[in-house]
Structure 1
Amino acid sequence: MTVGDLSRQTGVTVKALREYTDLGLIYTLGRSPANYRLYDTDALWCVRFIGELRGLGLTVAEIRDLTTAYLDSPDRPVGSHLAELLHRSRERLRQRITAQQQILDRIDEFETEHQHHLEEGDLCWAGDPRCEA
């Protein structure tokens, strides 16, 4: 199948599939006479697996690291390596949640502090020349 066929079957953009191929995450069978990349059905599994790992928050670089570890030592299990990558992903997510919660807290504080002005529509920022009269 061509990269377009693979894209249609997986819902992944052609651009992303080309990137995955260039990074060695998906292998091609070579090229067609018209110079299109050709893939077999194994590529479907690879794309779905990449999607699963991306859905767990792993970066493309981490997925590449995991596949490299597997390819370098196919007889060694990669479970502990994957566990470490999942731990990193979890920590990144917790940090993002904390940052977003801080923004929500600042919104709450601002609304509480300026509730009267927000309701009346007359909120002026310090130094705003439109509010000086």
Structure 2
Amino acid sequence: MTSEPPAQPMTIGELSRRTQVTVKALRTYTDWGLIYTAGRSPANYRLYDTDALWCVRLIGELRSLGLTLAEIRDLLSTYADNGERALGPSLAERLRTARARIDSKIADLEKTRRRIDAFEATHQAELAHGSGPGLLADDPRRCTRCA
């Protein structure tokens, strides 16, 4: 029976290259306890094992679903405390929260679009042909005189 030697630990730079995640983000993930180091090199570089690859990809997937790092940390903490049986309901709750956050942002963006539409409709001639009395009724240089 042959056993494979353990994989060589990766530096944070190698983990970054392999996952396409910035070193800064990886440091944040480590500092937040989302990924763990396998220790330090003699030169004091953080070292990671292959489990870190899976963790970074999971974090990326959860971030792409709109979860914040704090929500991911809480989710992974729930998983660590209760195992897989608690993961589904916890993830579902966090996804509902992320959806609500996204819906709120969409509503805000739609309001901004309506304000742009109204402004363009009101100032159509000025926008097409240059400034007019309705676009900038006051002298715009007044702002620079106060500075």
Pick the TM interval, shorter chain.
Answer: over 0.9
Cα displacement (A) at 1:75: 5.8
> Which one of the candidate residues 127, 138, 144 is aligned to 1:127?
138
**Pair 1:91 & 2:100 matched:** yes
CA shift, 1:129, in A, is 5.9
Helix, strand or coil at the partner of 1:78: helix
Q: Distance in 2 between matches of 1:116 and 1:101?
A: 24
Q: Find out whether 1:34 has 2:62 as its counterpart.
A: no
Q: Distance in 2 between matches of 1:8 and 1:34?
A: 20
2:14 to 5, 22, 27: 5
Amino acid at match of 1:64: R
The answer to whether structure 1 residue 107 and structure 2 residue 113 are counterparts is: no
Instruction: Provide the C-alpha distance between the structure 1 equivalents of 2:113 and 2:84, rounded to a whole number of angstroms.
Output: 48
Alpha-carbon offset, residue 125 of structure 1: 1.7
SS in structure 2 opposite 1:33? coil
- Residue 24 (str. 1) matches residue 30 (str. 2): no
Would you identify which runs of 4 or more consecutive aligned residues in structure 1 move more than 3 Å?
A: none
Q: How high is the TM-score relative to the length of structure 2?
A: 0.84
2:103 maps to a residue whose letter is R
Residue ranges of structure 1 left out of the alignment (5+ in a row): none
Q: Deviations 1:82-107 (Å, cap 9, x if unpaired)?
A: 00000000011011011011111111
> What secondary structure sits across from 1:38 in the alignment?
strand
Aligned-residue CA RMSD (Å): 1.3
1:36-75 equivalent positions in 2, closer than 5 A: 36-74=45-83
2:86 equivalent in structure 1: 77
User: C-alpha distance in 1, partners of 2:41/2:140?
Assistant: 67
In structure 1, what is the Cα distance between the partners aligned to 2:38 and 2:140? 67
Q: TM-score scaled to structure 1, two decimals? A: 0.92
Shift of 1:23: 1.0
Q: CA deviation at 1:68?
A: 0.8
Task: Count residues in correspondence.
Answer: 130
How high is the sequence identity, in percent, across the aligned residues? 62
